Amino acid sequence: MLDIEEGARVHWAQAECYAFLLAKERQLDHIGVQLTYIQIETEKTKTFLRKYSLNELENIVHETLVSYTPLALVLLHNQSRRQQSIQNLSFPYPAFRKGQKKLAGAVYKTIEESKTLFANAPTGTGKTISTLFPTIKGIVDEPERKWFYVTAKTITRTVAEETLSLLEKQGLSHSAVTLTAKDKICFKEETICQKEYCEFANGYYDRINGALIDILKNEMSMTRPIIESYAKKHRVCPFEFSIDLTYLVDGVICDYNYVFDPKVSLQRMKEEKKKKTALLIDEAHNLVSRGREMYSAELKKSSFLEVKRLHGDNEHIKKSTNSVNKYFLQLKKEVENRCEARTELDKQLVEEIEGFVEIAEKCLGEDGKEWSEEFLQLYFDALSFMRISKIYSQEHRFVIDHSSKDVEIKLFCIDPSKVIRNVTKSFQSTVFFSATLHPFSYFFKQLGGREEDYRFLIPSPFQKEQWDVGVLPISTRFKDRDRTLPMIVDSIEAAIKKYGGNFLVFFSSYSYMREAFERIDSSSIDATFLIQEQGMREDEREAFLSQFHGNREKPVIGFAVLGGIFSEGIDLKGDRLTGVIIVGVGLPQPSNEQELIKEYFNAQGMNGFDYAYVYPGLNKVFQSGGRLIRSEEDRGVLLLIDDRYLTPKYQGLMLEEWK
């Protein structure tokens, strides 16, 4: 609890600034300031009253301004240096690639006109430089403009950092920070943000100003290693340090969730700042599935029972978990060992969850009390459930799943387009771009596109002759897999032997991939075989990719999963990669949720099966195949294994350069 015997100094300081402005405006010699605290639960109030002379307030405000002056001077100096460097900044390559200049022009026009752009720019266009360069050049005309470059994966954030580094070598003086997830960047073994546990949290606000001034004076691209270095030097939390920097720098590179996720987004960013911020959304095809995840929430009956078991000695927790459990039991009887989706949100359940959240917050506010990880996790899950319940709409379904021993409740977002649009419209402009916004109409709708938005589609900068595309019409359907897997394995072995060099072989699931991997006759192929594992760490991913180089004695054959970490955002140029083999058409596994998507879009008059299965599946195929040709000099073989690739539907959806 906050000690308010005299009132907190930070609250008085805020009131004193308001009082000074009012007294100055109305030419008052003296003014009274009242500070009132309200106890939310009891509604009791505690009030303090002080009187100030205008001279006293002038001195207080002057001291405050003096304390902020060093930071303000650094920001002004950086702004002046930035504007001059941008005026002299030129494109960092001798010439534009095919389509690159048009894309850069479209981005510049979009931001200048505060519009939204959907750009399908195939692999090799140079999307990162084509979006960042015009965005930064436009700051000359609008010095207060900021930009956010948001991505789905760490590897694409690295590409953005490398692009900024390239522009700095061209003379750009411009500040940008990369945000890293709290769990990854935390210096402690456990991410516990309490001053009793973490010395970097203890006294953070006493040291943060010095840390901010130091890094802004000396650094431009504030990547994770740079952030960690200064955080250790000034003994501040690296995560909070990077968050504070986002409000002071020119650009931010971060994951989607800092902009779109209601649980994580940068809440302190004011609307007027957003109206001067350009949003660049890389690999935008990923935002559809990520949007569904971010705008959904789930809770399980077993979680409440476990918390009751661990903390049932607390009468408030016991009563609250009993009440929620009782309601879960009622829903369990209603659905009878099946899964049921309802259109209307169950408001009574929301009230029960809200009651648990209130009790949990009271308990967590108790000094010196330790709570289990299960209790903390349930609190965060319940809080997320409450947030999503507030944006629940006709694009959601209230799902009760009693198909297993447990009972699970989910607020499932079928169509995230409206929520995505509500987020992006608060920014000055938004650029959605990807190599695979294909089919374009599908992604345009799913990402909240409107009639007045700009659309930009450019052909591949590579020649068709660079691709050697083949189709093997062998069924990979689940019912046929036992019968056809030997033929598929034989085809993979034959392709590797015929062409030589390094290959990536993609499958629709881990189980399918492992089954094929075990059948490969490695004794007949003199190569090094690698396989993607679930939950690979960053160092393990890097070790996997480092094996792919052209001067090895043996070729490298990597087995990976469609839509996984090796299917996008990686560059294996030249002889690092000879071929890509894709087994299957990438259809998502059938599930209750995929069926809800199908039913929803059928009801909208569209082909629900395509929206739920075909389009998401093909997008994974396009991404994986896109690993093959990365530069004008690359040549390679692409082998598509599935009989559906020869049907009119799939032929009609195929990328032009693959036809």
Task: Look at residue 331 in the predicted model and tell me its pLDDT.
Answer: 93
pLDDT, tens digit, 9 for 90 and up, residues 53-112: 999 999 999 999 998 899 999 999 999 999 999 999 999 999 888 889 999 999 999 999
pLDDT, tens digit, 9 for 90 and up, residues 140-167: 888 889 999 999 887 788 889 999 999 9
pLDDT, tens digit, 9 for 90 and up, residues 416-445: 999 999 999 999 999 999 988 999 999 999
The structure tokens listed for 558 are 């990597």
Do 234 and 211 meet the contact criterion of CB atoms below 8 Å apart? yes
Do 239 and 258 meet the contact criterion of CB atoms below 8 Å apart? no
Residues with Cβ < 8 Å from 79, sequence gap 6 or more?
A: 143
pLDDT, mean of residues 308-332: 93
User: DSSP letter at 611?
Assistant: I
Do 14 and 8 meet the contact criterion of CB atoms below 8 Å apart? no
What CATH number belongs to 464-658? 3.40.50.300
C-alpha–C-alpha distance, residues 275 and 515, integer Å: 52
What three-state secondary structure class fits 75?
Answer: helix
Task: Look at residue 42 in the predicted model and tell me its pLDDT.
Answer: 75
User: Does 461 score more than 90 pLDDT?
Assistant: no
Task: Look at residue 543 in the predicted model and tell me its pLDDT.
Answer: 92
> Which DSSP string do the residues of 161-185 spell out, in sequence order?
HHHHHHHHHTT----EEE---HHHH
Amino acid at 243: I
Task: Look at residue 296 in the predicted model and tell me its pLDDT.
Answer: 97
User: Does 596 score more than 80 pLDDT?
Assistant: yes
Nearest Cα to 304, choosing from 328, 330, 268, 331?
Answer: 328
Amino acid at 567: S
pLDDT, tens digit, 9 for 90 and up, residues 25-42: 999 999 999 999 987 767
* Cis peptide upstream of residue 439 (ω within 30 degrees of 0): yes
pLDDT, tens digit, 9 for 90 and up, residues 232-256: 999 999 999 999 999 999 999 999 9
User: DSSP letter at 38?
Assistant: E
What three-state secondary structure class fits 77?
Answer: helix
Do 569 and 623 meet the contact criterion of CB atoms below 8 Å apart? no
Task: Look at residue 368 in the predicted model and tell me its pLDDT.
Answer: 67
Which of 17-21, 122-126, 171-175, 293-297 is predicted least confidently? 122-126
User: Does 387 score more than 90 pLDDT?
Assistant: yes
In degrees and rounded to multiples of 5, residue 569 shows phi and psi of: 75, 10
Task: Look at residue 269 in the predicted model and tell me its pLDDT.
Answer: 75
The structure tokens listed for 537 are 């760490």
Do 118 and 437 meet the contact criterion of CB atoms below 8 Å apart? yes
User: Does 180 score more than 90 pLDDT?
Assistant: yes
User: DSSP letter at 127?
Assistant: H
The structure tokens listed for 587 are 């259809």
Residues with Cβ < 8 Å from 261, sequence gap 6 or more?
A: 294
pLDDT, tens digit, 9 for 90 and up, residues 95-127: 888 889 999 999 999 999 999 999 998 877 889
Do 154 and 253 meet the contact criterion of CB atoms below 8 Å apart? no
Do 107 and 458 meet the contact criterion of CB atoms below 8 Å apart? no
Task: Look at residue 5 in the predicted model and tell me its pLDDT.
Answer: 66
User: DSSP letter at 612?
Assistant: I
Task: Look at residue 573 in the predicted model and tell me its pLDDT.
Answer: 85
Which of 153-167, 169-183, 317-331, 388-402 is predicted least confidently? 153-167
In degrees and rounded to multiples of 5, residue 30 shows phi and psi of: -135, 155
User: Does 4 score more than 70 pLDDT?
Assistant: no
User: Does 3 score more than 60 pLDDT?
Assistant: no
Task: Look at residue 367 in the predicted model and tell me its pLDDT.
Answer: 67
Alpha carbon distances (Å) from 498 to 357, 447, 501, 503, 599: 62, 42, 10, 12, 45
Task: Look at residue 338 in the predicted model and tell me its pLDDT.
Answer: 87
pTM of the model: 0.89
In degrees and rounded to multiples of 5, residue 203 shows phi and psi of: 75, 20
User: Does 366 score more than 90 pLDDT?
Assistant: no
User: Does 463 score more than 60 pLDDT?
Assistant: yes
User: Does 311 score more than 50 pLDDT?
Assistant: yes
Angle at 99 between CA 564 and CA 469, to 5 degrees: 50
Our measurement of the distance from residue 175's CA atom to the centroid of its chain's CA atoms, rounded to an integer in Å, reads 21
Rounded percentage of the chain residues whose pLDDT exceeds 90: 75
Which CATH architecture group holds 71-292+426-457?
Answer: 3-Layer(aba) Sandwich (3.40)
Q: 489-498 long-range contacts, Cβ below 8 Å, gap at least 24?
A: 489/516, 489/519, 489/520, 491/639, 491/641, 492/516, 492/520, 492/581, 492/583, 493/520, 493/521, 493/524, 493/525, 495/579, 495/581, 495/637, 495/639, 496/525, 496/527, 496/555, 496/557, 496/579, 497/524, 497/525
pLDDT, mean of residues 189-204: 85
> Which DSSP string do the residues of 420-439 spell out, in sequence order?
HHHHHTTSSEEEEEES---S
Task: Look at residue 63 in the predicted model and tell me its pLDDT.
Answer: 93
C-alpha–C-alpha distance, residues 512 and 509, integer Å: 5
Task: Look at residue 118 in the predicted model and tell me its pLDDT.
Answer: 97
pLDDT, tens digit, 9 for 90 and up, residues 322-352: 999 999 999 999 988 789 999 999 999 999 9
pLDDT, tens digit, 9 for 90 and up, residues 256-266: 999 999 887 67
C-alpha–C-alpha distance, residues 369 and 86, integer Å: 54
User: DSSP letter at 39?
Assistant: -
As a residue count, the chain comes to 659
User: Does 2 score more than 50 pLDDT?
Assistant: no
Nearest Cα to 492, choosing from 639, 335, 627, 368?
Answer: 639
Average pLDDT taken over every residue of the chain: 92
